[in-house]
A and B are shown apart, each in its own frame.
Chain A
Amino acid sequence: MAVASVSHGGFAAPVHEEADQLYLETRELRVQGFLLFMVSDLVLFSSFIFAYLYLRSSGQGWPPPGGPKLDLALAALNSGVLFGSGATMHFALENWKHRNFMKFAGWMVTTIVLGILFLSGQIVEYVKIGVGWGTSGIFGAGFFTLTGMHGFHVFAGVIYLTVLLLQATAGKYTFAKYTGLTLGTLYWHFVDVIWVVLFSIFYLL
């Protein structure tokens, strides 16, 4: 209150500078903390991926006889949808940086819809191949564990982006301070990148 009353007398500028400095310091910490979270998530995925590759290479031929056949055309389209959502998320952040809220909101909604479309495509794939953990041996266990874990991340990402959009609409972020949106974009790109690996090992190798 005292600061507000004397703000025209020369105190306002130092207070703002202090706040900006605090924002910059905590911003770095938040970014680093989020990157650490992503590294830990990467370790989690890597563990399962290497376990799957080990089991795959130690078996008598691959895929195991009598196993399901994955649909490459559907997977390629679904991958395109997820990678496309990475592009739309990039547009969303760029439009925020260029102070265009309407375009930002439009691209965010597009990203969320594409995320939901990807999840729908995964469900179609699951139903189509009709296997589960208990019935499909090593292949099914690896496939469902990894794609399911990734699907859960996409699901969490859809909720995360929806919350970010609502927060942005409510004015939580300014065009100068938007670390949360940057971190949301990083998370969504991370989910994309994990799918590049999963798509390769399940459908292309």
Chain B
Amino acid sequence: MDATLAHIERVLAFVVGIIVFFVAAIALKNDWDSKGIENQVFKGMLALLALGAILAILASVNALAGKGVEL
């Protein structure tokens, strides 16, 4: 049961991670030329959001896993 649940969690994390990555990347591309201090912060945060999505994807396929975590 736990293994099935973990499998479902991983699949969902993988799918959501891909969606978020593309949303963040497209938003970043669209906002690239925007001016203003808050837009510069937005761009940095969108880039980090895309990075976070990549990390979630890699974690979901066990490509990245730290010490002391349950795989």
* A193 / chain B contacts, CB cutoff of 8 Å: 45, 48-49, 52
In the complex, what distance in Å separates the CA atom of A196 from the CA atom of B55?
A: 8
Task: Check if B38 sits within 8 Å of A80, measured CB to CB.
Answer: no
Query: A100 at interface (Cβ–Cβ under 8 A)?
Result: no
Please count how many residues in chain A sit with their CB below 8 Å of the partner chain's CB atoms: 43
> B49 near A70 (CB under 8 angstroms)?
no
**A75 to B17 CA separation, bound complex (whole angstroms):** 12
Instruction: Give the segment of A4-12, A84-92, A153-161, A162-170 that binds chain B.
Output: A84-92
CB distance from A194 to the nearest CB of B (A): 10
Q: Does B1 contact A (CB under 8 A)?
A: no
Residues of A near B10 (CB, < 8 A) are 73, 76-77
Q: Hey, which chain B residues are within 8 Å of A45, CB to CB?
A: none
Contact B38 A186 (CB under 8 A): yes
Query: With A62-B68, A70-B69, A90-B23 in contact, is A81–B16 under 8 Å at CB?
Result: yes
Give A78 Cβ to nearest chain B Cβ, in Å: 8
Which residues from chain B contact A22 at a C-beta distance below 8 Å? none
Please determine whether B59 and A70 come into contact, CB atoms closer than 8 angstroms: no
How many angstroms between the C-alpha atoms of A84 and B56 in the bound complex? 11
Distance A88 CA – B14 CA, assembled complex (angstroms): 17
Q: Tell me the interface secondary structure of chain A in the complex.
A: helix
C-alpha spacing A174/B16, complex, angstroms: 32
The docked-state distance in angstroms from the alpha carbon of A31 to that of B70 is 42
Q: Assess whether B56 is in contact with A72, with CB atoms less than 8 Å apart.
A: no
Segment among A13-21, A144-152, A197-205 that sits at the interface with chain B:
A197-205
> Is there an interface contact between A76 and B13, defined as CB atoms closer than 8 Å?
yes
Complex interface: chain B residues within 8 A of A73 (CB):
5-7, 9-10, 13, 60, 70-71
Residues of B within 8 A of A83 (CB): 16-17, 20, 49, 52-53, 56
A67 located at the interface, meaning its Cβ lies under 8 Å from any Cβ of chain B in the complex: yes
Residues of chain A at the chain B interface (Cβ within 8 Å)? 31-32, 35, 38, 62-63, 67, 69-77, 79-81, 83-84, 86-87, 90-91, 94, 139, 182-183, 185-186, 189-190, 192-193, 195-196, 199-200, 202-205
- Known contacts A81-B16, A83-B52, then 11 further A-B pairs from the complex at CB < 8 Å, ordered by chain A residue: A69-B69, A71-B69, A75-B69, A83-B17, A84-B19, A90-B27, A193-B52, A199-B52, A199-B55, A204-B65, A205-B67
* Across the A-B interface, the 8 shortest Cβ-Cβ residue pairs: A80-B16, A63-B68, A196-B52, A76-B13, A189-B45, A73-B9, A87-B23, A73-B6
Chain B interface (Cβ within 8 Å of chain A)?
5-7, 9-10, 12-13, 15-17, 19-20, 23-24, 27, 37-38, 41-42, 45-46, 48-49, 51-53, 55-56, 58-60, 62, 64-71
